[in-house]
């Protein structure tokens, strides 16, 4: 107890001492601020009434001269710094302050000697120090040492980083000098240009007053970027420009019934000839794209007048005529917001008498806003003019694709390898099927059957059946003798599932060859003397119908192919006229980076396809928005038109050179030929589900999803179990009632069947 008592007493004593110290410090700070305020009033504002004030003011001014007013400033700095940083180093402050005041007084004395008529005075301290320095090192040395000691005193007080100060000052001076030199050079250039303009004006007299008024209203004439086309080139030269084209003479398109080619003729890559451009229709309008120069001038004037009526400072700087729309490039004046121009797009459409206007704000790579205004007389873009353009003929891509013309009239092309998969969607009669035919025809005009093959799926039985029997056809589930365009949903499911197995087999082959894509494998095969792989283009004309009938199987196969098939040369082209989230699901959309949107009914459909609005403003009849993998904004394209007669002529020419011919890559899978139950469930899946229910003694969608790995497949299997009576849900209950006796009988029946039908498919030795 005694020890505790003494410790407590000692602690109280210590706390009392600390509190007394704090009280004393606070009192000193209060007195210090009072003294500082008194010095300010005395030295700055002349309030020196009182004997002590008058004596103090007189002494300080006599001793320090005109540097005496710095005393309250330095004292204020020390008090504030002590309160903020809790610093009590008064010795350093006192030393620095005295050094600064004395050195500053010495500098004032130096100025007094230079400016003898001035009222500058440094006091007794300044005179003593300066004259002492002068007697030792002379007047120049006294001045330098006074300035040096002044900087030392400031450094002691304020800890100034002189290196940073010097560096910043040097940078400022250097930048200021460079700016002065640039301004001087610019001024010289403007003077030189002004002299040249005066000289030209003297040589060429000014135009009439009316022309001057027009020039004042329009700052600059818009430049017309009209594309150059070579439509009148001889056909023979066009054919030579096509890559690897072997056609030397025009091919007759009309054939009698006796001359109809037979599909039993074998395909020979050595003698195969690519189609001739004579099979296609000639371009119309003599290759002139877009409106005439007079029509462009009138439209430009109306457009600028409309902007002027809304008090918007802007003018047309460029015009890009296209086959269906013309893009006018509007450059706003400084200070004009883009939103103010975009907001009056409907008023501009009214003034231009246009059906709809699409605004591109801003144009990528330009300081202008693009207004795409429909032409009064649209021009049809033909397939022939795109195929003979250097964009297609000089392309170094493995599989180039021709699309049409951009909004500014330039030919539009793409590369199948860079897509690598594409979604084409649009409303009925918007040109979706024509766009698909354009892609197919551009591939047929470039690639031989041993280089590219098509797996065509056409549930409508109307569009792709025109290509029946061409040597480019391919179907992995059947041999080349029975290959046709797939028209039923179950056949499409089997073909896609077999194509997945082809993809897996190709991946294993590339792993053994130690290559990472089909280009590398073909180069390796050429060195080793092996057979090369061909590209496979999967075309599904109507995705909505397949999703309606066999949603789970189609979605799973498309997802696997879209994720892994690019490296092995398998590319998907999916088309639909129903752009909704039920058809273009998140899984499919995430794996199709390239999109083509044709005219749709609403902004919602446009967002489903392109993740943005714009497709609802298209004009239809092949007017599309194309967005590639590397495009931040979609490009407007007018698709090339291909008629049914042109397709028939090209298909007949190809059929005349042989029937489809390809080696069987994977032997037929007998499990795929067995009938499926319900919504696409095979007997193996049903047997696995029944065993799972028997083992777990319960059933739910989450249980089936965890086992089969797909929510859609789990839903289908659950529906099959309910339809077959294995499980029921009584009215008023949310729990499944399981009939184990029926399940055991079904398991026994399935296990006693011939097991040979359930063996895994075997791979042939032929890989490609």
- Least confident segment among 178-192, 220-234, 460-474: 220-234
Higher pLDDT among residues 472 and 109, named by residue: 472
Banded pLDDT at 220 (limits 50, 70, 90): low
The mean pLDDT value for 715-731 works out to 81
Q: Under 8 Å CB-to-CB from 360, ≥6 apart: which residues?
A: 327, 369, 370, 371, 372, 633
The mean pLDDT value for 454-482 works out to 89
Domain ranges of the chain: 19-160, 290-374, 387-655, 670-758
Higher pLDDT among residues 722 and 496, named by residue: 496
Mind listing the pLDDT tens digit for each residue in 646-699?
999 999 999 998 888 887 665 544 444 444 444 456 777 888 888 888 888 888
Banded pLDDT at 257 (limits 50, 70, 90): very low
**Residue 570: its pLDDT value, please?**
93
Mind listing the pLDDT tens digit for each residue in 293-335?
888 888 888 888 888 888 888 888 888 888 888 889 888 888 8
**Residue 228: its pLDDT value, please?**
57
pTM for this structure? 0.58
Q: What is the DSSP letter of 681?
A: B
The fold of the 387-655 domain, in CATH, is Rossmann fold (3.40.50)
Mind listing the pLDDT tens digit for each residue in 361-418?
888 878 888 888 888 888 888 898 888 888 888 888 888 999 998 888 888 888 888 8
CA atoms lying within 13 Å on the CB side of residue 702: 1
Q: How far is residue 423 from each of residues 252, 458, 494, measured CA to CA in Å?
A: 36, 15, 22
Q: CB atoms < 10 A from the CB of 426, how many?
A: 30
**Residue 243: its pLDDT value, please?**
41
In 3D, which of 66, 62, 71, 65 has the Cα closest to residue 41? Answer: 71
**Residue 89: its pLDDT value, please?**
65
Query: What mean pLDDT value characterizes the chain?
Result: 78
**Residue 214: its pLDDT value, please?**
43
**Residue 6: its pLDDT value, please?**
57
The mean pLDDT value for 543-560 works out to 83
Of 3.30.980.40, 3.10.129.10, 3.30.830.10, 1.20.1420.30, the CATH number of 290-374 is: 3.30.980.40
The mean pLDDT value for 60-86 works out to 76
**Residue 671: its pLDDT value, please?**
40
Q: What is the 3-state secondary structure (H, E, C) of 353-376?
A: CCCCCEEECCCCCCCCEEEEEECC
Residue whose entry in the numeric block shows the structure tokens 């032409």: 375
**Residue 467: its pLDDT value, please?**
92
The fold of the 670-758 domain, in CATH, is Arc Repressor Mutant, subunit A (1.10.10)
% of the chain surpassing 70 pLDDT = 81
Q: Is 92 helix (H, G, I), strand (E, B) or coil?
A: helix
Most confident of 65-74, 94-103, 179-188, 568-577: 568-577
Spell out the alpha helix ranges (H) of 668-733.
670-673, 683-696, 701-708, 711-723
- Whether the per-residue pLDDT at 716 is higher than 50: the answer is yes
In 3D, which of 277, 275, 253, 645 has the Cα closest to residue 448? Answer: 275
């Amino acid at each position: 107890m005694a020890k505790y008592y003494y410790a407590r007493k000692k602690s109280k004593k210590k706390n009392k001492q600390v509190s007394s110290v704090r009280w004393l410090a606070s009192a000193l700070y209060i007195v210090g601020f009072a003294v500082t305020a008194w010095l300010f009033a005395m030295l700055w504002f002349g309030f020196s009434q009182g004997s002590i004030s008058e004596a103090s003011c007189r002494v300080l001014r006599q001793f320090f001269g005109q540097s005496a007013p710095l005393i309250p400033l330095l004292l204020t700095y020390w008090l504030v710094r002590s309160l903020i940083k809790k610093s009590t180093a008064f010795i350093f402050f006192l030393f620095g302050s005295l050094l600064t005041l004395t050195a500053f007084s010495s500098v004032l004395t130096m100025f007094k000697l230079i400016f003898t008529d001035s009222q500058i005075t440094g006091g007794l301290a300044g005179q003593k120090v300066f004259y002492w320095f002068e007697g030792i090192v002379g007047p120049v040395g006294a001045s330098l040492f006074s300035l040096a000691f002044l900087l030392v005193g400031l450094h002691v007080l304020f800890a100034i980083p002189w290196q940073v100060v010097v560096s910043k000052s040097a940078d400022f001076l250097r930048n200021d000098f460079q700016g002065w030199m640039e301004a001087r050079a610019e001024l010289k250039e403007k003077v030189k240009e002004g002299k040249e303009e005066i000289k030209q004006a003297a040589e060429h007299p000014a135009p009439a007053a009316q022309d001057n008024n027009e020039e004042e209203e329009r700052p600059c004439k818009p430049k017309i970027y009209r594309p150059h086309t070579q439509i009148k080139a001889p056909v023979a030269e066009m054919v030579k420009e096509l890559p690897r084209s072997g056609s030397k003479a025009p091919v007759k398109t009309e054939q009698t019934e006796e001359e109809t080619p037979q599909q039993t003729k074998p395909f020979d890559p050595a003698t195969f000839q690519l189609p001739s451009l004579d099979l296609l229709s000639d371009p119309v309008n003599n290759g002139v794209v877009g409106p005439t120069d007079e029509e462009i001038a009138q439209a430009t004037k109306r457009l600028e007048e409309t902007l002027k009526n809304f008090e918007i400072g802007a003018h047309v700087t460029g015009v890009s005529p296209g086959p269906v729309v013309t893009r006018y490039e509007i450059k706003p004046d400084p200070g004009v917001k883009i939103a103010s121009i975009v907001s009056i797009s409907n008023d501009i459409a009214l003034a231009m008498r246009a059906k709809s206007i699409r605004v591109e704000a801003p144009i990528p790579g330009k300081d202008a806003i693009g207004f795409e205004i429909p032409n009064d007389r649209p021009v049809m873009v033909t397939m022939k003019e795109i195929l003979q353009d250097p964009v297609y003929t000089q392309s170094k891509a493995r599989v180039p694709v021709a699309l049409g013309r951009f909004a500014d009239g330039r030919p539009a092309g793409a590369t199948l390898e860079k897509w690598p998969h594409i979604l084409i969607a649009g409303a009925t009669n918007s040109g979706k099927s024509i766009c698909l035919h354009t892609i197919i025809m551009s591939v047929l005009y470039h690639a031989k059957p041993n280089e590219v093959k098509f797996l065509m799926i056409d549930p409508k039985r109307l569009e792709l059946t025109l290509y029946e029997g061409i040597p480019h056809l391919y179907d992995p589930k059947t041999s080349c003798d029975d290959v046709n365009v797939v028209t039923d949903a179950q056949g499409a499911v089997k073909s896609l599932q077999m194509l997945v197995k082809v993809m897996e087999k190709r991946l294993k082959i590339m792993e053994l060859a130690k290559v990472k894509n089909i280009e590398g494998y073909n180069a390796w095969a050429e060195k080793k003397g092996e057979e090369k792989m061909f590209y496979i283009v999967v075309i599904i004309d109507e995705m909505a119908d397949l999703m309606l009938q066999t949603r789970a199987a189609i979605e799973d196969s498309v997802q696997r192919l879209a994720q892994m098939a690019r490296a092995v040369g398998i590319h998907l082209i999916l088309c639909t006229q129903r752009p909704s989230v039920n058809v273009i699901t998140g899984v499919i959309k995430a794996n199709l980076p390239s999109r083509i949107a044709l005219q749709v009914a609403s902004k919602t459909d446009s967002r489903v396809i392109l993740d943005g609005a714009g497709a609802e403003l298209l004009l239809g009849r092949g007017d599309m928005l194309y967005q590639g993998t590397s495009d931040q904004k979609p490009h407007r394209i007018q698709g090339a038109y291909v008629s049914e007669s042109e397709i028939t002529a090209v298909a007949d020419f190809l059929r005349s050179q042989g029937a489809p011919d390809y080696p069987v890559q994977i032997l037929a899978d007998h499990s795929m030929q067995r009938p499926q139950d319900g919504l696409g469930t095979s007997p193996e899946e049903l047997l696995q589900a029944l065993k799972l229910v028997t083992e777990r003694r319960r059933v739910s969608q989450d249980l089936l999803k965890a086992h089969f790995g797909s929510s859609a497949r789990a839903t289908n299997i659950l529906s099959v179990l309910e339809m077959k009576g294995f499980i029921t849900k009584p009215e008023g209950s949310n729990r499944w009632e399981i009939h184990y006796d029926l399940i055991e009988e079904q398991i026994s029946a399935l296990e006693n069947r011939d097991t040979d039908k359930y063996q895994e498919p075997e791979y042939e030795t032929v890989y490609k």
